[in-house]
Structure 1
């Protein structure tokens, strides 16, 4: 069974199981219909064939009986004899399958050489025999015979004598003819079935082409090569394409409205926060330090939550960033230049290791938000150098930010905004990064064993100029895969 990865709300994907493709299912139904129809046709043909064969057997027996009756004579002694040799040579071959027998008063008086001296046990004449119709008997050897038995009068000098003439044919000949017919018919019907199934497959291929075009266009939308479904499709499929276009339009409108509301919220809270900050300073000036501290803490909490929700509202995520790609190397170099001109950034040695043309399947704004927060965190904690590394790992891209500042420590915990966990802007930045990555089904990984600061994440991408060799080199340099020895951290504490 095929597995299909479908988006799931939040991080990760949901795996859908498809028992079989639509093309295969329709082809199986068509093949079953063809085989069933031809099977019924074959059985019907066999029945019709047997009916006609039996009719021919009956006519053949009638002709044979008429020939035998015409050739029946009486010799000089008044005994019955055949005037001329039978035309069918099988009458002269013992047990050949063609027989005749002449009886008088129920006793056989003359037999064909093919009976080899053993007369047929015809029993008493029944209704079928009295009408002249053929009937079946079974010989002691187990052979079935078709028999026609009728009376005939032959003249004598002293009057006419009545004899009973019987002509028989072996059923095995009919069975052989039937078997040969069934075999030949099976071969012909099999060839017809193959032709019909091939025609059905071709018909399905032509019929399902519009769905294949829709699938290709959906891939193009996901990869950013087009924005909507554009190709002409049959009337039966057109509503699906229109509904998908409306769904994409509605999704864009929802995202745009959400961002507009987030911006309006931030703008609306700016003035109250500024007023509260001014009041906090006035309280400090009036000597009410304790009250001013509580106000400052609450204002900081409000600012923290507002900044986080604004960052989450700005994030596109995998569900809304269909077709979005970002040039990781260009974005990384641009952000490194920006960070190097910020406070403390001028005193650090910045190094960017990203091959040209390395692409990520991520919205450019989201990638900039993630990388900006990680580099800003490294700028605040680094002692002398910061390294940004982007490298291909199979079909994905791993981004690592490393600095020579203190490590995160072995007691690191996932980023959160609960009381006492994070109060610095660096901690909020890591939480924002984790929220954005979660929208893409990824996670932020932090090396808790390193004595310096190392953070990393992996997202889908298409690397140019970096293949398996680059991925192997990255694994060798880091010493371990991403899945081992890593965990999330909310704040950095010097490692002992």
Structure 2
């Protein structure tokens, strides 16, 4: 299973979603870091001010002035979790919920506050600042702490609406990306429709009035169309020249064999084939769109094959009236004629011909109740120019010709086993 979309639209949208998520994560990390630093600096300044008040009550010999401490105590206890402590030679003075010593290394002298982390008696995390003063009586440790929630709460209160706003902005950008992808890829869809029009014969070239990025593509497509048209025209002209060259000898041969009906009939078939290919070459030169009423053509062919089989095989046709395929009538007769001839020769007693419209095309099915073709022999039966009859296998006739004709008009040929066990041939042709 592919995780990466195969379409350009899907890839562009996936990139937009990934970029939006990365931007949201980076914004959350950066915003949280900045706000944490700002809020922490503010708390640290407040705790440093409290330490300065504590230091004002410490005497030169390291003891503390109880009266001075009592005077500043209201400013030290701002609320639950705001703790302070003085520890020195004169003993320890602390708030009612005194600060536990943080779990760090040995206490050293530092006359500037530093950040410490610890926990109160209830286990709640504390954010603390500490100073170690050197006095005549020894070192004095001054500590002031605030609940960790004082730092986290304003960050959370600020980050939550900010991230919500960023998420909304990213959603709006995603919608904008969808709109951008939709309108940005419209020229590609227009080129696709133009190519379909060229293929169907409704246009001669792809419009070259395209955005700058697609103009070279349109020009190359038109160059390819012109090159293929030139090659096809040359091939048709060669076929027409060959047919013209054969017309005179065939006419002479018809005169020679006019008293021999069986052979004269074969010459007439050759002459009809030559005329058909000449007509098709002329039609294609003037660009006429091919069209055949397959119900009418199939009915006529089925009637002919019933007579030729002498009533041995019942041929049933079920094709909706007015169903047209984009194929020359002569080519359709050749295509279905080969299929019916093959089916009649191998059927035990019945051949079914069904036709129906499908999305964008026509499905034609010919099924017999004969021995069919083994799955491992079907590819060989469809090989160009190969007739299984000639190899002695007796599984079919003209399937390669049918495939070539169907592919010539943009269709395809499929072989399968029918409900009666015989061969089921399905031909898909473009809609007329």
Match for residue 193 of structure 1 among 162, 170, 181: 170
How far 1:443 sits from its partner (Å)? Answer: 5.7
Q: Distance in 2 between matches of 1:419 and 1:104?
A: 111
Pairs within 5 Å for 1:237-252: 237-252=214-229
CA contact (8 A) 2:108 2:132 kept: no
Aligned to 1:459: 428
**Partner-residue secondary structure (3-state), 1:145:** strand
CA contact (8 A) 2:325 2:431 kept: yes
How far 1:359 sits from its partner (Å)? Answer: 2.5
Aligned to 2:115: 135
How far 1:248 sits from its partner (Å)? Answer: 2.1
How far 1:216 sits from its partner (Å)? Answer: 2.6
Task: State the structure with bigger RCO (CA 8 A, min sep 6), 1 or 2.
Answer: 1
Q: Does 1:102 align with 2:86?
A: yes
Paired residue total: 380
CA contact (8 A) 1:97 1:170 kept: yes
Match for residue 261 of structure 1 among 235, 238, 245: 238
Match for residue 112 of structure 1 among 87, 95, 112: 95
**Partner-residue secondary structure (3-state), 1:146:** strand
**Partner-residue secondary structure (3-state), 2:213:** coil
**Partner-residue secondary structure (3-state), 1:115:** coil
Q: Does 1:442 align with 2:394?
A: no
How far 1:88 sits from its partner (Å)? Answer: 6.2
How far 1:240 sits from its partner (Å)? Answer: 1.2
**Partner-residue secondary structure (3-state), 2:26:** helix
Q: Distance in 2 between matches of 1:194 and 1:84?
A: 53
Q: Distance in 1 between matches of 2:10 and 2:127?
A: 51
Q: Distance in 2 between matches of 1:121 and 1:48?
A: 27
Q: Distance in 1 between matches of 2:288 and 2:43?
A: 77
Distance 1:163 1:260, change over 3 A: closer
Q: Distance in 2 between matches of 1:62 and 1:419?
A: 101
How far 1:253 sits from its partner (Å)? Answer: 2.1
More displaced stretch, 187-196 vs 53-62: 187-196
Aligned to 2:182: 205
Distance 1:419 1:105, change over 3 A: closer
Structure 2 unmatched ranges of 5 or more: 60-64, 258-262, 282-286, 346-350
TM, length-normalised to structure 2: 0.64
Structure 1 unmatched ranges of 5 or more: 3-17, 154-159, 282-295, 316-321, 382-386, 464-496
How far 1:392 sits from its partner (Å)? Answer: 1.1
Distance 1:30 1:365, change over 3 A: farther
Deviations 1:298-334 (CA, angstroms, capped at 9, x unpaired) = xx99x98x969x969969xxxxxx996624258639x
How far 1:205 sits from its partner (Å)? Answer: 1.7
Deviations 1:283-302 (CA, angstroms, capped at 9, x unpaired) = xxxxxxxxxxxxx9xxx99x
TM, length-normalised to structure 1: 0.57
Deviations 1:356-390 (CA, angstroms, capped at 9, x unpaired) = 43122435553254357779x79x99xxxxx9966
Q: Distance in 1 between matches of 2:419 and 2:105?
A: 105
CA contact (8 A) 1:27 1:201 kept: yes
Aligned to 1:332: 297
Aligned to 2:213: 236
Distance 1:135 1:391, change over 3 A: closer
Q: Distance in 2 between matches of 1:323 and 1:273?
A: 28
Aligned to 1:62: 48
